[in-house]
Amino acid sequence: MEDDDGDAKAVSRALARSPVRTVLHRVSDGIEALKLMRARGSALADTYIVLADLNMPRMNGIEFLAELRRDPILRRTVVFMVSTSDSEEDRNAAYNFSVAGFSPKHKLGKNLEKLIKVLDDYARIVDLPRMP
């Protein structure tokens, strides 16, 4: 989930430069993300890792996490949160909804490709939950 075109392009470029071969689905807010994830027969059926921004229009990242965790099918989705915020309050709120990681965007900078590699490694070595 990313509403900023520049940040979305940076993630897309980092993914394209990495050896990770996956389909990237970009949505602009939590409402779109949930709609896409809940769609039956969705291409997301085998996707278990979500990279979500905290500051989003309509439904922000924390509201998205709250709704996701209430959903009996999607609640086990692995989510990594990224944000322009570096506040302890935002970080704690995200971890209260069981995010797998929280990364302030300013710390990523040129390390975005490393984050993509970490996500790929994570998916390879962790037994991810299956969707019912």
Residue-range domain boundaries for the chain: 5-124
Compute, in degrees rounded to 10, the torsion defined by CA atoms 126, 82, 117, 76: 20
Q: What is the mean pLDDT of each run of 10 residues along the chain (132 residues)?
A: 62 67 73 84 60 83 93 87 87 94 78 77 78 64
User: Residue 23: its pLDDT value, please?
Assistant: 63
- Distance CA(113)–CA(56), nearest Å, equals 23
Q: Please give the pLDDT value at position 125.
A: 84
Supply the pLDDT for residue 99. Answer: 92
- Give the strand order in the sheet containing 101-104: 49-53, 78-83, 101-104
100-114 burial: b if 16+ Cβ within 10 Å, else e:
bbbbbbeebeeebbe
User: What was the pLDDT predicted at 24?
Assistant: 66
CATH of 5-124, one of 3.30.540.10, 3.40.50.2300, 3.10.580.10, 3.40.50.720: 3.40.50.2300
